[in-house]
Homo-oligomer: A and B are copies of this chain.
Amino acid sequence: MFRELMTYNQAKKLIFNEINPKPLGNEKISLIDAYSRILYEDIISNMDIPPFDRSTVDGYAVIAKDTFAAEEISPIELKVIGEVKVGIYPKIKLKKGEATEIVTGAPIPIGADAVVMVENTQKQKNRLFIYRAVTQSENIMKKGADIKKDEIILKAGKILEASDIGVIAALGFTSVKVFKIPTIAVISTGAEIIEPGKALIPGKIYDINAYSLSAAILDSGGKPIILGVVPDDEVELGKTLKKALISSDIIITSGGVSVGPKDYTPKVINSLGKPGVVISGIAVKPGKPTTVAVIGNKPVFSLPGHPASALLVFYLIVSPIIQRIAGRKLISEKKVIATLGSRLFSAKGRKTYVTVKLSRDKNQKLIAYPIKSGMSGAITTLSKADGFIEIPADQQFIDSNEKVIVTLLKNKKV
C-alpha cells in the first residue's frame, strides 16, 4: 500500500489558499472587558493629552524670567496673588512680579511659564522668596506632550495590554471595537471513547481530546464548543457535523481518520458540501492521518485520535488559522536554540516532530531532551513537553550535542 503524501509545507500553503482565513468582523465591548482582546481599528486621539499645561510638582507658578537672578544666598521676591487647585481651571492671570501657589497636576495659570518647587521657596504671608532660578517650561507638562490630537496611538491588530487599556481610558472612551472571537466546534469520534464523568466500561477510555483541544483553542484566541463523543456511526457523525456547521466557524474532529476499516469521516464530510476534503494525509510524524476539508467557507480539521498527536497537529496546522480568524497578526512561533540531549532518528521520508523537555545543565546551557514515548498516544508526554523540534524529511537523524531549534509550546517558560 503506497500513497504519495503531501509534504507539510505543501499542506500549509494549500490550507491557507483553500480556507483563506479572514477575521469575522468586530464587536464593541466595554473597556473593562477588553484586556487581552485584539484591537479592530486604529485608536486615534480625539484630544491633546494632557488637555492643558500641568504642573508636575507642588510649588509656585511663576514667570521664569522673574526668577533668573535667584540664588541660594540671595533670593528674589514675588507676590503671591492666589492659589491654583487641581481639577479647576484657574481664572487668575499672572503679571510680572507675581506668583500663584500650585499643586501637582493643577493647570498652569495664564501668564505663568514655569513652576518653582516648594522646596526652593519660603513664604511669609503673601511674600514669596525664591532661592533657585527656573527656566521656561520647567516643571510643566505641556498640553499634548503625551498624546497629540489626531495621532494614531494604537494600531489595529494589537493585543490589548494593561497599558493600552490605560491609554484608551485616557481619551475618555469606555468601550472599544475588538475582533469577534471565532467559535470552534470540537467533536470526538470513536467507539472506544467515553465522556469523562460517566462510568468506564471495560474496553473503553475517557475522551481526552475534547478537553485538551478546547484549552488549546482558548490559547489560540477561539471559543470552544464541545459537541461530545460521536460513537461509531456514520449517520450520527453526519448529524453532529451539520449541527457544528451551523453553530460554529471552524470544526475540529479527532479520531476516526487512520487507515482502519471504520474510517468513514472523510466520506461523511464530503457528503455535506463543497469543496469537501482538500487534504487527506500529510507527510509529518506524528499527524500523518490528518484530513483537512472545507464545507462552504468553513474549515473542518480531522485530527488523529492519539491525544499527543492531536494536540501537536493542532498547534502546527489549526492554531495559525484560528489566530488569523481571531484577528491576530500571524504570530511567529517562539523559538529557542538548545543543545540536543540524545541522538534522534526521523521517520523515513516524513518531516518528524519530536517533543522535548528543556532544562539547563551546570553551565546554564539549555539542553533539549527528547521525550521518549513509544506510542504517540501517551498522554503524559503532553504535560512533560516544553516544545518540539523538527527533523526535515530528507534527514535521517540529529546527533547528540548538535544545536537544535525548539519551537515552544504555548504558555511554556524556559
- Given A32-B226, A86-B191: A206 and B377 within 8 A (CB)? no
Contact pick for A206, options B171, B209, B412, CB 8 Å: B171
The CB with the most chain B CB atoms within 10 A, among A146, A190, A207, A213, is that of A146
Query: How far apart sit A168 and B147, CA to CA, in the bound complex (Å)?
Result: 49
A214, B32: Cβ atoms closer than 8 Å = yes
Contact pick for A169, options B36, B203, B207, B259, CB 8 Å: B207
Listed stretches A50-58, A70-78, A177-185, A293-301; interface member: A50-58
* B contact residues around A271 at 8 Å (CB): none
B260, A58: Cβ atoms closer than 8 Å = yes
- Given A196-B173, A219-B35: A203 and B88 within 8 A (CB)? yes
* B contact residues around A49 at 8 Å (CB): 205, 379
Query: How far apart sit A141 and B120, CA to CA, in the bound complex (Å)?
Result: 80
- Given A103-B262, A192-B105: A165 and B211 within 8 A (CB)? yes
* B contact residues around A211 at 8 Å (CB): 31-32, 165-166, 168-169
Query: How far apart sit A1 and B58, CA to CA, in the bound complex (Å)?
Result: 14
Give residues 70-109 of A contacting B (CB, 8 Å): 85-90, 103-107
* B contact residues around A259 at 8 Å (CB): 58, 118
What number of A residues sit within 8 Å (CB to CB) of B? 102
* B contact residues around A118 at 8 Å (CB): 259
Query: How far apart sit A217 and B210, CA to CA, in the bound complex (Å)?
Result: 30
Closest to A158 in B: B383
Q: Does A160 contact B (CB under 8 A)?
A: yes
B413, A261: Cβ atoms closer than 8 Å = no
Query: How far apart sit A85 and B58, CA to CA, in the bound complex (Å)?
Result: 82
Task: Please give the distance in Å from A166's CB to the nearest CB on chain B.
Answer: 3
Contact pick for A153, options B218, B232, B383, CB 8 Å: B383
* B contact residues around A231 at 8 Å (CB): 87
B32, A162: Cβ atoms closer than 8 Å = no
Task: Please give the distance in Å from A315's CB to the nearest CB on chain B.
Answer: 9
Task: Please give the distance in Å from A270's CB to the nearest CB on chain B.
Answer: 22
- Given A141-B375, A379-B146: A58 and B172 within 8 A (CB)? no
Contact pick for A208, options B166, B212, B216, B378, CB 8 Å: B166
* B contact residues around A200 at 8 Å (CB): 47, 51, 172
Query: How far apart sit A378 and B212, CA to CA, in the bound complex (Å)?
Result: 43
Closest to A141 in B: B375
Query: How far apart sit A91 and B146, CA to CA, in the bound complex (Å)?
Result: 77
User: Chain A residues in contact with chain B, CB under 8 A?
Assistant: 1, 31-32, 34-36, 47, 49-52, 54, 56, 58, 85-90, 103-107, 118-119, 141, 145-147, 153-154, 159-174, 190-193, 196-198, 200-216, 218-219, 224, 226, 231-232, 258-262, 305, 307, 311, 334, 374-375, 377-380, 382-383, 385, 409-413
Q: List 7 A-B contacts (CB under 8 A).
A: A32-B211, A58-B258, A86-B203, A147-B379, A169-B212, A171-B206, A172-B197
Ranked 8 nearest A-B pairs via Cβ: A166-B212, A163-B382, A87-B191, A162-B215, A169-B211, A89-B203, A87-B192, A89-B202
